Structures are given as C-alpha cells and as structure tokens.
Chain A
Amino acid sequence: DAGVIQSPRHEVTEMGQEVTLRCKPISGHNSLFWYRQTMMRGLELLIYFNNNVPIDDSGMPEDRFSAKMPNASFSTLKIQPSEPRDSAVYFCASSWEAGNLRYEQYFGPGTRLTVT
C-alpha cells in the first residue's frame, strides 16, 4: 500500500487566498483525521471523520476552516481566506475502527503551508 497520500507537499500563498489541502487515506481504513502542527501548540486534531461522517470538529479553529470527505478515498481541508497565522504543517492520518476496537493511526507526509 502507498500509505496516506497528501498533496501538495508545500504550499505558499498570499494572505486572503483560498487554500485546499488534499488527502487520500489508506484503502480499507474507515477513519480519517486532519491535524495541524505548530511550534506553539504542537500536534492538534482539527477534525475527525468516521465512515465519511464528521464525528468531532471541535478542533477546527474558526469558520475559515472547512473539511469534507465526499467518499472513503478522498478528503479536503480548505482555508478561506487564509491568514499568516495559518502557517503550519498539516497532517492527514487514517485508521481502522470497529466497535470498541481501535487501531493506530497512519500519517501522511504532511503539507507545509506558508501564508505570507
């Protein structure tokens, strides 16, 4: 398996522009997670989908952030409009869940976002 795939790997954009990050989870996994890593806040969960349904979006910073999972093999995280404080590394991860069974999450390589 190719693992979790994220694109783009690097994104540089100007303040006010729309940014879309993409993720393809591992085939067969039914849970998908978006994280943001910054020096100040470490690795924080933004949103979590299970079976394509958002389960917990309490980590989404504000209305400028939105995430979708139209099918089991694709998810997007959109920032509109972007601001310099959104600069961070954004990770997507996937895992398998079944009832009370939980398994480790597999992370993608991340997208480094720079907003100038």
Chain B
Amino acid sequence: DQQVKQNSPSLSVQEGRISILNCDYTNSMFDYFLWYKKYPAEGPTFLISISSIKDKNEDGRFTVFLNKSAKHLSLHIVPSQPGDSAVYFCATGGSSNTGKLIFGQGTTLQVKP
C-alpha cells in the first residue's frame, strides 16, 4: 500500500524548458513534504520542502506546489539544466510527530542539451 506515489517513472525535457514532477499522497493528515534529488552512486540530497500551511515554496529555479484538496504536490524546475538530470523522490513526514519519512518510488528526469 503506497502512501506516496510518483506515477511517472521517467521524464525527458529539453534544456531551458520547464520540468514538472508530480507526486500524490493518500492521507490528508500528512503535513510536511520534501523533494530529494539523487545522482547515481550517491545518496539522496535534500532539495526543497513545504509545510501544509503553505501552498507554494520557491528556492531559485525550484518551486514546490501543494494542492491539499487533491492530495497532490509537484516540483517545477525552471529553466531545466542538463545537471538537473537525476532521480527525484518526493517524501512526506506523514502525520506522525517524528522525523520518519515515507518516500515515493522516484522519477528519473533527463534534461537534454
């Protein structure tokens, strides 16, 4: 039973265009969400987060949008760069008051020069 779902295993975009990665979750009580980026042979690295009291958080080229009614979040990368090519995981802290995270399966982004 996947509580966090990334339905697109892969995405390919042209350099300079927008990349949109999507994530759905099952429990409306989830209140904290994160995106991680992972390069081959490295551990995931934190990218950006959002609390359920917000619907948008922006950090440079990266923006995360949260739609609580749809239980959906998305990561926008504008403009996309070849160095952004990686696996992107969305994660949630769930509804528990702990540091435990639940991860989606990941989406592999390829940005073509």
Query: Known contacts being A45-B101, A100-B97, is A105 close to B46, with CB within 8 Å?
Result: yes
| B residues near A104, Cβ cutoff 8 Å | 34, 46, 49
Cβ of A102 and Cβ of B41 under 8 Å apart? no
B-facing residues in A37-82 (Cβ within 8 Å): 42-45, 48, 50, 55-56
- Interface bracket on A: 20 to 34
Q: A43 CA to B91 CA in the complex, in Å?
A: 10
Which residue of the partner chain, among A44, A95, A108, contacts B43 with CB atoms under 8 Å?
A108
B-facing residues in A70-116 (Cβ within 8 Å): 91, 93, 95, 97, 100, 102-110
Cβ of B98 and Cβ of A110 under 8 Å apart? no
**21 A–B pairs (Cβ distance < 8 Å), ordered by A:** A33-B100, A33-B101, A42-B105, A42-B106, A43-B89, A43-B103, A44-B103, A45-B102, A48-B98, A48-B99, A50-B98, A50-B99, A56-B100, A93-B43, A97-B98, A104-B46, A105-B101, A106-B46, A107-B36, A110-B41, A110-B42
* Chain A residues packing against B (C-beta within 8 Å): 4, 31, 33, 42-45, 48, 50, 55-56, 91, 93, 95, 97, 100, 102-110
* Chain B residues packing against A (C-beta within 8 Å): 32, 34, 36, 41-46, 49, 89, 93, 97-106
